[in-house]
Amino acid sequence: MITRAVRRLLAVLLRVVVPGIRRVVPADRVVAPGIVLLVVAANVVGAGVVTLLLLGVNGGSDADSPTGRLVTAVAGAGYLVLAIPVGVLWGLRQQRQTNRWLWAGRAPTAEEALVALRLPADIGRLVAVIWAVAAVGLGVVAAVVYPEPLVGLRIGLSVVLGGVVTAGVGYLLVARAARHVTARALAAHPPDEPRTLSVRRRLLLAWGLTSAVPMVGLILLVLDPTGQGTPGRFTALFLPGVSLVIGLLATLLIARAVGSPLRELRRAVQRIGDGATDVRVVVDDAGEIGLLQAGVNSMAAGLAERERLRDLFGRHVGDTVAAQAMEQGVELGGETRTVAALFVDVAGSTGLAQQLGPQEMVGLLNRFFAVVVDATSAEGGLVNKFEGDAALCVFGAPRTLDDAAGAALRAARAICTAVGEAGEVEVGVGVAWGDVVAGQIGADSRSEYTVIGDAVNSAARLTELAKDHTGRAVASDAAVQAADPAEREHWVCADEVVLRGRSEPTRTWVRRG
């Protein structure tokens, strides 16, 4: 079990420090032990650094004392042995709420999530307090046991610098290792304001660990009040070496903390730009980057909702009308357009409804209208409205077609052929050509795109004639004459009829065969 825990810790530590390694997500029950081991390791390393730094100072002065060194070292080791378990228990007690919901495998409450988000800051403060007590205690001990009391000040300041480095590195390590906990807390309660250090403060922390602390250490050694003078060769080489190592670690941690989420956000934004609306990024940062992650998720959700509404809008009014409305807005009014109107109606629908029942009738009409929509869309037309068991289709508005009349006639033939092959219903299709008023009709709060004119009325009247014709499609002479000559070959001239509501006869054409 110990070996497995060590392997888990090493995997987490490698994932934190080394870019590109296989992703390791600690299970909920090993998050707290893993973080404890990370903090303990950081404190032990910090203590070792301070010890080597103090031992490396030139011991040739009057202030040097083997006895003082031994007593100070024993006091430091004893404090370390006592402070580490006390600090661990203190830290676990601070985060007992976090451990409770992690071990229970449930979502945290709002208060528990807030405590979990404070985990890196709480650990950093805890380490700072432990090292501050160590600085005061060891400084007092050294002042008593060394011949030169000012040695205590030097040792105290060295411990303070070591504590600053340990607290800073501990904060960065815990912030990286606890991203799993942070992500779960933020998933249950999305962030509304930063709960951790901003990017600017993280960069300032990196500057402090890599530049400020080492430089202050060198300055204090040069201005040593104990009279040792300039630092020895070992110290002059050791302190910059520690600075390089700590600086590399801190830079890697901050680069991963900032760079990895930004790369994921870049990929997410690119996918959104390509049209994907199901994009979601994991919110695993409690600061500014986390707010950006949540903002991208909100943007993607809003675009998905907009796309869904546009799809529903297009289904109700047609894709062409929907696109025009979104580009130009919706304004009441119309314009005169020359169009081909196609009207299709089911013959004997009343008897069918009584025979089949409501559910079966609806299914039948849906299959029939699917044929109408496919045939109309294939020719660039618009299914303007469904009227019970009938449909009005328009060719030439709102989108202009090169051969609107021919498109309507081809769609009429396609509808008749498909319906005949299905054999479920009998229909009549009428096609007329002429000027209409096309536009948004209604009120400011409710309107629809429609066409009004003689061509629409004529198409509806021709549909009644088509129900009694074997070809099931009748077109006006104006529609056939306006069509491409190749399309006319599929139509045969028929009788002149006086349509209902008209005084003049209308010459008609019927579908050949």
pLDDT tens, 305-352? 777 766 665 555 555 655 555 555 545 567 888 999 999 999 888 788
User: Where are the chain's structural domains?
Assistant: 2-273, 331-511
pLDDT tens, 6-44? 445 444 444 444 344 344 344 455 555 666 676 777 777
Closest CA to 286 of 162, 414, 119, 459: 119
**What local confidence, expressed as pLDDT, does residue 410 receive?**
95
pLDDT bin (cut points 50, 70, 90) of residue 200 is confident
**What local confidence, expressed as pLDDT, does residue 28 receive?**
53
**What local confidence, expressed as pLDDT, does residue 316 receive?**
54
Q: Is the pLDDT score of 383 beyond 80? A: yes
Per CATH, the number for 331-511 is: 3.30.70.1230
Distance CA 389, CA 387 (A): 6
Q: Is the pLDDT score of 57 beyond 60? A: no
Average pLDDT over residues 483-490: 92
Percentage with pLDDT > 90 across the chain: 19
pLDDT tens, 155-174? 787 788 778 878 887 787 78
Distance CA 409, CA 510 (A): 10
pLDDT bin (cut points 50, 70, 90) of residue 217 is low
Render the burial of 464-487: b for 16+ CB within 10 Å, e for the rest: bbbbebebbbbbbbbbbebbeeeb
pLDDT bin (cut points 50, 70, 90) of residue 477 is very high
**What local confidence, expressed as pLDDT, does residue 210 receive?**
67
pLDDT bin (cut points 50, 70, 90) of residue 70 is confident
Average pLDDT over residues 396-417: 92
Strand segments (E) across 208-361? 333-347
**What local confidence, expressed as pLDDT, does residue 493 receive?**
92
**What local confidence, expressed as pLDDT, does residue 79 receive?**
78
**What local confidence, expressed as pLDDT, does residue 262 receive?**
82
**What local confidence, expressed as pLDDT, does residue 296 receive?**
84
Q: Is the pLDDT score of 374 beyond 80? A: yes
- Of 247 and 481, the structure prediction assigns the larger pLDDT to 481
Q: Is the pLDDT score of 213 beyond 80? A: no
**What local confidence, expressed as pLDDT, does residue 430 receive?**
95
For strand 382-387 and strand 426-442, is the pairing parallel, antiparallel, or unpaired? Answer: unpaired
Q: Is the pLDDT score of 509 beyond 80? A: yes
The residue count of the chain comes to 513
Contact 28, 103 (CB under 8 A): yes
Contact 490, 444 (CB under 8 A): no
Average pLDDT value over all residues in the chain: 77
Cβ atoms within 10 Å of 419's Cβ, excluding its own: 22
SS3 content of the chain, % helix, strand, coil (to 5): 65, 15, 20
Contact 487, 402 (CB under 8 A): no
pLDDT tens, 407-418? 999 999 999 999
